Amino acid sequence: MPDFKRKSPDEILASINALYTGRLKIIIGAISGSGKTYHMLRDGQTLKNQGVDVAICAVSTMQRPETMEQLEGLERIPSIHWRHPDGSERKDLDLHAILKRNPEVLLTDGLAHRNRPGAPNKTRLDDIRFLLEKGISVIATVNVYELQGVTEMARKLIGIDVQETVPSDTLELADEVRLIDVTPETLLARIQDGLLKKVPDKSLFNRGNIGVLRELTLRLVAEGVNGTLLKYRDEQGYIGASGTAEHILVSAQYHWNGSIHIRRGQQIAQRLGGELSVVTFVNPSEKLGREREEFRRSIRKLCEKIGARLHEIKIRSRRDIPATLVRLALEQNISRIVIGHSNQTRAQEWLRGSIVAEVVKRMRNVDVFVVADSTAGGGERILPTKRKEPLQDPAGPYRRLSEEQAGRKIEEIKRGRFKVYIGAAPGVGKTYTMLREGNILLKKGIEVVIGLLETHDRQETQGQVGCLELVPRAIVPYKGAQLEEMDTDAIIARNPEVVLVDELAHTNVPGSLHKKRYEDVIRLLNAGISVISTMNVQHLESLNDNVEQLTGVRVRETVPDSILRLADEVELIDVTPKALQERMREGRIYAREKVDQALGNFFKTGNLIALRELALREIADDVDERLESWERKTSLRGPWRREEVIFVAVTLSPNAERLIRRGFRIAYRLKAPWYVCYIPDGSCPIDQTEERIEQLRRLTRRLGGSFDLGERVPARRLHEELLTRANARHCTQLILGQTRRSAMYRLLFGSMTRRLLRTARHMDLLMVARFDHAAQVKQGD
% of the chain beyond a pLDDT of 90: 50
Contact assessment for residue 360 and residue 273, using Cβ atoms and an 8 Å cutoff:
no
In this structure, is the dihedral angle defined by the CA atoms of residues 44, 48, 49 and 50, taken in order, positive or negative? positive
Cβ atoms 182, 214 nearer than 8 A: yes
**Residue 389 above 90 pLDDT?**
no
**Rounded CA separation 500/464 (Å):** 13
DSSP per position, 69-128:
HTTTTPEEPPPEEEE-TTS-EEEE--HHHHHHH--SEEEES-TTPBPPTT-SSSBHHHHH
Identify the burial level of 231 via C-beta atoms within 10 angstroms of its C-beta, where 0-12 means exposed, 13-18 middle and 19 or more buried.
Answer: exposed
Please choose, from the candidates 619, 612, 613, 621, the residue with its C-alpha nearest in 3D space to the C-alpha of residue 666: 621
Q: Give the model's pLDDT for residue 198.
A: 60
pLDDT grade for 526, boundaries at 50, 70 and 90 = very high
The residue ranking higher by pLDDT, 228 or 507, is 507
Per-residue pLDDT reduced to its tens digit, 438-449: 999 999 999 999
For 545, list phi and psi in degrees, rounded to 5.
-70, -40
Which one-letter amino acid corresponds to residue 558?
T
**pLDDT at residue number 18:** 72
Q: pLDDT at position 172, please?
A: 92
pLDDT of 468 > 70? The answer is: yes
Instruction: Give 70's pLDDT tier (boundaries 50, 70, 90).
Output: very high
Mean pLDDT on 301-320 = 91
Q: How far apart are CA 242 and CA 225, in angstroms?
A: 12
245/266: higher pLDDT: 266
pLDDT of residue 592: 82
Res 673 pLDDT > 90: yes
Q: Is the pLDDT of residue 637 over 70?
A: no
Distance CA 711, CA 62 (A): 68
The confidence score (pLDDT) of residue 12 equals: 74
Burial of 502 (C-beta count, 10 Å sphere; 0-12/13-18/19+): buried
Residue 2 is predicted with a pLDDT of 46
State which amino acid sits at residue 354: S
pLDDT at 579: 92
Whether the per-residue pLDDT at 139 is higher than 90: the answer is: yes
Question: Residue 781 has what pLDDT?
Answer: 43
Confidence of residue 303 (pLDDT cuts 50, 70, 90): very high
Sheet with 105-108: strands ordered across: 75-76, 54-56, 105-108, 137-143, 24-29, 176-180, 569-573, 418-423, 530-536, 498-501, 448-452, 469-470
Euclidean distance between CA atoms 555 and 507, whole angstroms:
12
Do residues 718 and 679 touch, judged by C-beta distance below 8 A? yes
How many CB atoms sit inside 10 A of residue 162's CB? 17
Say yes or no to pLDDT of 712 above 90: no
Choose between 745 and 187: higher pLDDT.
187
- Report pLDDT digits (tens) over 618-635: 999 888 888 877 655 455
pLDDT tier at 591, thresholds 50, 70, 90 = confident
Per the model's pLDDT, the better-predicted residue between 4 and 354 turns out to be: 354
Mark out the alpha helices in 196-279 (DSSP H runs).
Answer: 207-236, 258-272
565 exposure class (CB count in 10 Å sphere: 0-12, 13-18, 19+): middle
96: left (phi over 0), alpha (psi -120 to 50) or beta: alpha
Mean pLDDT taken over the chain: 86
What pLDDT is attached to residue 774?
A: 53
pLDDT bracket for residue 65 (50, 70, 90): confident
Most confident of 158-167, 495-504, 678-687, 734-743: 495-504
* Residue whose C-alpha is closest to residue 460's, from 31, 20, 46, 34: 46
Number of alpha helices (DSSP H) and beta strands (DSSP E) in the chain = 30, 26
Element (H, E) at 54: strand 54-56
Nearest CA-CA partner of 775 in 337, 432, 331: 331
Q: What pLDDT was estimated at residue 181?
A: 95
Within 10 Å of residue 297's Cβ, how many Cβ atoms? 11
Q: Among 492, 502, 418, which residue's Cα sits nearest to residue 465?
A: 502
390 touches 503 (CB < 8 A): no
Q: What pLDDT score was predicted for residue 434?
A: 96
φ, ψ for residue 158, nearest 5 deg: -130, 0
Phi, psi (rounded to 5 degrees) for 104: -75, -35
Answer whether residue 726 shows pLDDT above 90: yes
The model's pLDDT over 342-385, given as tens digits with 9 standing for 90+, comes to 776 666 666 666 788 888 888 778 899 999 886 554 433 333 33
d(CA 165, CA 184): 23
- Mean pLDDT across the stretch 478-502? 94
